[in-house]
Amino acid sequence: MTRFFEVVRRDLRLALRQGSDSVMVVTFFILTVILFPFGLGPETNLLERVSPGVLMVTALLASMLSLDRLFQADYEDGSLELLAMSPMPLELAVAAKMLAHWLTTGLPLIVVAPVLAVLLHLPADGFAPLLAAMVLGTPVLSLIGGIGAALVLGARRGGVLLSLLILPLYIPVLIFSVGAIDAAIQGLEAGPHLLILGGILIASLALSPWVAAAALRQAVE
C-alpha cells in the first residue's frame, strides 16, 4: 500500500510542477460554461432549464483534456516499462495513476462547479445533487478514461481517437447525474439516480484498473 501512495505522490508532484494540466482543465471548464449565456441569451428560465446538462457535459469534456497524457509521458520515457517491472502489480500502479488524475482534474472541477452553477442560475435545490453527482461521477470519468488512454497508447492522433472511444461510455454518467439534479429541482427524489451513479462508480472501480493494465501490457510489448 505504501507503494500505491508512492506512485500517487509522484504523479501529484509531476502535475504540480508542470502545473499546466489542472489549470488548463479548469480554465476550459470555466470558459466553455461562460460561453453558454452568450450563445443562448441571458433569460433566466432558459438557463435554469439547461444548466444541469451544460455543467455536466462541459465537466465531462474538460476532464478528457488531460486524459491522453495519463500514460503517454510514462510510455515515451520508459517509466511505464519500469512500473510494469516493479514488485507492485501493474493494476495497482494503474489505479494509483487514475487516482492522481482524479485529484488533479476531477477535484478542481468539483470545486469550481458550484460557482459556475450560480452563473447559470441553477435553482437552489439543485446544488446539493450537483455536488453529489460530481463527487460520484468525476472518478468514473478518470477510471473509464484511463482504459481509453491505455488503449490508444502509441497510436497517432491518440487524443482524437480517445474521445471517439470514451465519449459513448460516458453517456450513463451524464444521464444519471443530470437526472439527479433535474429530479431535485422538480422536488422529486434525487437518491435513486445517485445510487445508480454510485453503482457505476463501484463497477468501474472494480474493472478499470485490470482492463487498463492489460492494455498497457500490450503497449509495452
Please give the residue ranges that form the binding site for another protein (CB under 8 A): 2-3, 6-7, 10, 13-14, 17-18, 73, 76-79, 81-89, 220-221
Nearer to another protein, 79 or 186 (CB): 79
Q: How far is the CB of 216 from another protein (least distance, A)?
A: 11
Q: How far is the CB of 143 from another protein (least distance, A)?
A: 23
Nearer to another protein, 91 or 182 (CB): 91
Please count the other Cβ atoms lying within 10 Å of the Cβ belonging to residue 137.
Answer: 29
Q: How far is the CB of 64 from another protein (least distance, A)?
A: 23
Residue type, 151: L
Q: How far is the CB of 62 from another protein (least distance, A)?
A: 23
124's grid cell: 437552489
Q: How far apart, in whole angstroms, are the C-alpha atoms of residue 212 and residue 55? A: 28
Please count the other Cβ atoms lying within 10 Å of the Cβ belonging to residue 171.
Answer: 10
Q: How far apart, in whole angstroms, are the C-alpha atoms of residue 110 and residue 135? A: 7
Q: How far is the CB of 80 from another protein (least distance, A)?
A: 9
Greatest alpha-carbon pair distance for the chain in Å reads: 58
Nearer to another protein, 134 or 216 (CB): 216
Nearer to another protein, 154 or 192 (CB): 154
| CA-based R_g, the chain, Å | 18
Nearer to another protein, 1 or 41 (CB): 1
The answer to whether residues 49 and 122 touch, using CB atoms and an 8 Å cutoff, is: no
Q: How far is the CB of 69 from another protein (least distance, A)?
A: 13
Q: How far apart, in whole angstroms, are the C-alpha atoms of residue 168 and residue 174? A: 10
| CA 46 from centre of chain | 27
Nearer to another protein, 53 or 89 (CB): 89
The sign of the torsion formed by the CA atoms of 61, 65, 68, 69 equals negative
